[in-house]
Each structure stands twice: as structure tokens, then as C-alpha cells.
Amino acid sequence: MMMFEPRRMHPVAGFLSFLKQLKEMILPFIFLFFVGPGDDFETYYLLGACTVIFFMLVYGVLHWYRYTYRIEDGELRIEYGVFIRKKRFIPIERIQTIDVSAGIIQRIFGLVKLQVETAGGGMQAEAILTAIKEDEANQLRELLTRTKNHQEAEMQTKQTRFTYQITPKELLVLASTSGGIGIVISGVLAFLSQFAEYLPFEKLYNSIEKYVSLSILFYIIVLIALFLLIAWVVGILIMTLRYANFTVVKRGNELFITRGLIEKRQSTIPLTRIQAIRIGENLIRQPLGYATVYIESAGGSMDKGEDFSTVLFPLVKKSAINELLQHFVPNYQMHGIENYVPSKAKWRYMFRGMLPFVIFVPAIVMLSYVFSSWGYLGLLMLPIGVILGFSRYKDAGWKIEDDQLTLQYRFISKITVLHYKKEFNPWT
């Protein structure tokens, strides 16, 4: 059944639109609250803030009411706009991926969010339906992915179906060895930079000193170690919630990727849109023999948070990658590197690896003056840079076999890219 009549999203979409605006205004609200002059300002501030919040709520409701969508003449047609009416027509053949996710609010009401992405769609998804029923989302996805050979594709779907699901052990290793700790540390440092003057560091230090005699340097080391431990645990929790129940299902010529515990996300990727396969091994996972496999596909949006890439296998033994690729993306295989960079490039790699750390030499001299011999430990960054440059030299290489180009390089993590040469077809 085709959708010719305009439809609206669930009314919860109006509330979600309001929350999005409120989130964007929260920092200005906080800033004005702290810098406001005098006691009288608080009264006017509260009145003004309540007025702004009320109008944002009204705007969210109007945005929901004015937003309609339908499928007609091979296009997804969207009309929206509170003050200025806008129309967007998206041809179905331009659609690259369809993502379905469900946040906390959507799951409370049994709803999902559907995102449609097209080739050249820019930084964000081409169309976002923030709150629709799951049955309607499935119907939309079926209509938007239907082709002329629909019946033949269904036959192929029944014959070729493969499933991959992350195991609890892999999920634990993934969460423990991820870079999520860096995100947590960045967030905490941003918080401290804004509210450091309100945090009782001196009082805490004086309280500890009553019971234990600590030098200031040892106190700093203990605080840093405790901070890193907490950040590591929080990072594990974040990654566990993000990749719990990670499942990949191949049906016919499409991959269906589902993940998330609190916020459930589902992506649909046609095999014809895959441009390359990327395999990443960070410094912790590489010695353990684990890697992460990504799909580089045509189209994409910045709001995925994954640099226009989609995770295919979040954590997998490197020895098992070829077997999984054979099932899910059979055109790609991981080959050993045969061609490496020439030996005369070694010194250039080592010098370029050390160069970023050279700028810290003045800071190292100052630390040496303040902390005596402890400051000279900063000089260890120079040989670390040399080792990093040498490892980049050792890993850089390529191989061409049949119609596949394999590239290997390292920045900090070791990266292998598989690119398959496709026959040019002007009609696809």
C-alpha cells in the first residue's frame, strides 16, 4: 500500500523538538545566570527564561503539526516549516541508507526515529522522522528499498541469510580496550575548565593531609591515577551500552546492523553502496589479535558520529576477518602486504614522528626548573616519537591482487583499507 496521503509524526515529535531547542539554549541560560548583575536580575532572568521556554514549547508543537511526509511518484516528499513552508522531494533511487533508532523517550512510547541518507546529502541526514510507530517505520523502509526486481530479491533473501552477533566476552574486551576513556577525559576536563573555581580542591587536600602526610607531587599523581581509573570505568560503561546486542544480518544484497541497549539503533546498508572496508587495530588490541572492521559507504551524515563510517564488526579476532567478510561482503578479502615503502624513507618517517614532540621542549625546560630532575622525564617524549615514526615506516605498504587494492598504514592505530575496483556502469 503506497503512502499518497500526507502523514504526521507522533505528537511526541513536538516534545522532542522542544527538548532539542532547550538543549541548544542550556549553555546561554547558564552563562546569563552566572554573569547577571545584582539580585534584581534573578527575577527578570527567571521571567525571561520561562517566557523563552514557553515559546520554544509552542514552536515544537507547531513544528510537529506542520511537518508532513508521504511517498508519491517514486519520491519521499516532505513538507515542513512553521513560518516559511518548505518542500523537499527525495527520489527513492538516490537513497543510500535508512537508519532506525530508538532513544529513551521513543522507547517509552513504543516509537522509533527513522533517518534517510542520500549521496551528497551533506553533513546531516536528508530526512529525519523523529517519532513514528515501529510498524510504520518498517513499512516505510520496505517501500523505500523496493526495486523492480522485488520478487527476485525476496527469493534471494530467503536463500542467503547470514547473522553475526557480538559475544559477551567480545563486548567486555571491546569496552575495556576502546578509546572511550579519551572522550570521558575530554568531557571532564571541559567541565573542570568551566567550574574549577567552585570545586574544593584545596579543602580536599587539607582534609587528606590531616590523616596522611603527602607531598604535593605525590598528591597530584594519586589524583591523576584516580581520575584515569574512574574515566576508564565510565568509558567501559558507555561502550557497553552503545554496542550491547550488536547484530549484523545479511539478507539478499543488504546488511541490517542493530546495536544499543538504552538507545537501540538499526542501519540498512545496500552492498552496492559499499566503497571500501577499513580495519583498525589500536595499540591495545593489536597485541591481543583483535581488530574493528568498518564499512565506508557512499553518502552518510555527520550526526552518526563515526566519521562517515559504519561499524561492521566492533571487535573480532583478526584471524576470523576473512571468513566473516566472505559471508557478508564477499568481494573483499584481507591480503598480506607485499610492497613496502623504500628503506631510504625510514629516516624521514622517524623525523616526522619526533617533530610534533619537539615543540614541547621549552615546556620540558620549564618543568625541569620547577620540579628539578622530575621535569627531565618529559624528554622521554622524543624517543617515543622516534619509535612511533619507525613503526609507521614498518607498517606502510600496499598490495594489488585481482581487482582489490590493499593499503596499510599507521597514525597511532594500525589501519588496513580494502578497496575493490568496480566496473563502471553509467546506469547505476
Given pLDDT bands bounded at 50, 70 and 90, which one contains residue 364?
A: low
205 shares its domain with 350: no
- Rounded to two decimals, the pTM is 0.64
pLDDT digits (tens, 9 = 90+) for 36-91: 555 555 677 778 788 888 898 999 999 999 999 988 887 888 988 888 888 888 88
Say yes or no: 325 and 365 in one domain: no
Q: Measured on CA atoms in the order 339, 345, 347, 353, is the torsion positive or negative?
A: negative
> How many domains is the chain built from?
4
| 287 and 377 assigned to the same domain | no
- Render pLDDT for 88-108 as a digit per residue (tens, 0 to 9): 888 877 777 788 888 888 888
Does residue 370 sit within a domain?
yes
Q: Rounded CA gap, 334 and 310, in Å?
A: 18
* 313 band by pLDDT with thresholds 50, 70 and 90: very high
Residues in the chain, overall count: 428
Compute the distance between CA of residue 337 and CA of residue 414 in angstroms, rounded to an integer.
13
* Contact (Cβ atoms closer than 8 angstroms) between residue 301 and residue 125: yes
The mean pLDDT of 150-156, rounded to a whole number, is: 47
- How does the average pLDDT of the chain come out, rounded? 77
* Residue 127 and residue 29 share a domain: yes
pLDDT at 149 over 50: no
| pLDDT on residue 263 | 75
Same domain as 365, residue 323 = no
Domain end position, chosen among 242, 261, 282? 242
Q: Would 191 be classed as within a structural domain?
A: yes
Residue 60 located in a structural domain? yes
The 10s digit of each residue's pLDDT in 406-415 is 999 998 899 9
Residues with Cβ within 8 Å of residue 346, at least 6 apart in sequence: 390, 393
Q: Which pLDDT score is estimated for 427?
A: 39
The pLDDT > 90 percentage for the chain reads 15
Q: Report CA-CA distances (Å) from 353 to 67, 124, 179, 358.
A: 52, 35, 21, 10
**58 shares a domain with 119:** yes
In a domain, 199, yes or no: yes
Same-domain status, 406 and 302 = yes
Retrieve residue 402's grid coordinates.
585481482
Q: Within this chain, do residues 271 and 308 fall inside the same structural domain, yes or no?
A: yes
Last residue of a domain, one of 200, 224, 242: 242
Give the pLDDT score at 307.
45
**Among residues 242, 266, 281, which one ends one of the domains?**
242
Q: Are residues 193 and 282 in the same domain?
A: no
Co-location of 382 and 258 in the same domain: no
Domain that holds residue 387: 343-392
Query: In this model, does residue 232 exceed pLDDT 80?
Result: no
Q: In what order do the strands lie in the sheet with 290-297?
A: 309-317, 290-297, 274-281, 414-420, 404-410, 397-401, 339-340
Q: Are residues 264 and 408 in the same domain?
A: yes
Q: Which residue has the higher pLDDT, 389 or 252?
A: 389
Same domain, 272 and 414: yes
Edge-to-edge strand order for the sheet containing 127-133?
127-133, 111-118, 95-102, 264-270, 254-259, 247-251, 161-165
User: pLDDT value at position 74?
Assistant: 79
The CATH number of residue 79's host domain is: 2.30.29
Per-residue HEC secondary structure of the chain comes to CCCCCCEECCCHHHHHHHHHHHHHHHHHHHHHHHHCCCCHHHHHHHHHHHHHHHHHHHHHHHHHHHCEEEEECCEEEEEECCCCCEEEEEEHHHEEEEEEEECHHHHHCCEEEEEEEECCCCCCCCEEEEEEEHHHHHHHHHHHCCCCCHHHHHHHHHHCEEEEECCHHHHHHHHHCCCHHHHHHHHHHHHHHHHHHHCCHHHHHHHHHHHCCCCHHHHHHHHHHHHHHHHHHHHHHHHHHHHCCCEEEEECCEEEEEECCCCEEEEEEEHHHEEEEEEEECCCHHHHCEEEEEEEECCCCHHHCCCCEEEEEEEEEHHHHHHHHHHHCCCCCCCCCCEECCHHHHHHHHHHHHHHHHCCHHHHHHHHHHHHHHHHHHHHHHHHHHHHHHHHHHHCEEEEECCEEEEEEECCCEEEEEEECCCCCCCC
155 within domain boundaries: no
Write down the pLDDT at residue 353.
83
